[in-house]
């Protein structure tokens, strides 16, 4: 069982920055594929950024590419999401997720493929 504990988030004005953290309390091998997802009210959960332990190239959704950066501290088994140039449309509940998913499937896996999820953290961007 993998337990993911999120921190960070909050409220910021458009153009501001926030950082999200996601700490996994298990060995790295059980969370090869990790990612950030978000869900706005009335909308489906969508993938924002993903990173596989064996790949140096992260994946970003078009809506956040160039503004968000995903990174991982393997020593502390912590995943981060640095969010810059935030827009009101970035407002959502953000979740981290992890799973033993191959590098081939990590970047296209559906939300239902990820077995482990953080508790969620709200990000609100005002105009």
Q: Specify the pLDDT at position 89.
A: 97
* CA distance readout (Å), 57 to 4, 26, 42, 98, 108: 23, 23, 31, 17, 14
Q: Specify the pLDDT at position 34.
A: 92
Q: Specify the pLDDT at position 2.
A: 77
Q: Specify the pLDDT at position 28.
A: 55
Question: What mean pLDDT is predicted for residues 3-29?
Answer: 90
Average pLDDT, the chain: 92
| 19-28, 38-47, 80-89: range with lowest mean pLDDT | 19-28
Distance CA 105, CA 114 (A): 11
Distance CA 93, CA 85 (A): 18
**Scanning the structure block, which residue is given the tokens 């503004």?**
67
Tens-place pLDDT, residues 30-83? 678 999 999 999 999 999 999 998 877 899 999 999 999 999 987 778 999 999
């Amino acid at each position: 069982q993998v337990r993911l504990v999120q921190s960070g988030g909050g409220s910021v004005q458009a153009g501001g920055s926030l950082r999200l953290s996601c700490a996994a309390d298990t060995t790295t091998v059980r969370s090869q594929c990790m990612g950030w997802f978000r869900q706005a009210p009335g909308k489906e959960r969508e993938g924002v950024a993903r990173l596989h332990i064996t790949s140096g190239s992260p994946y970003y959704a078009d809506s956040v590419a160039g503004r968000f950066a995903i990174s991982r501290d393997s020593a502390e088994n912590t995943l981060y999401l640095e969010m810059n140039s935030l827009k009101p449309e970035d407002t959502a509940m953000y979740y981290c997720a992890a799973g033993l998913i191959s590098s081939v499937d990590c970047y296209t896996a559906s939300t239902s493929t990820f077995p482990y999820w953080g508790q969620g953290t709200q990000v609100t961007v005002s105009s």
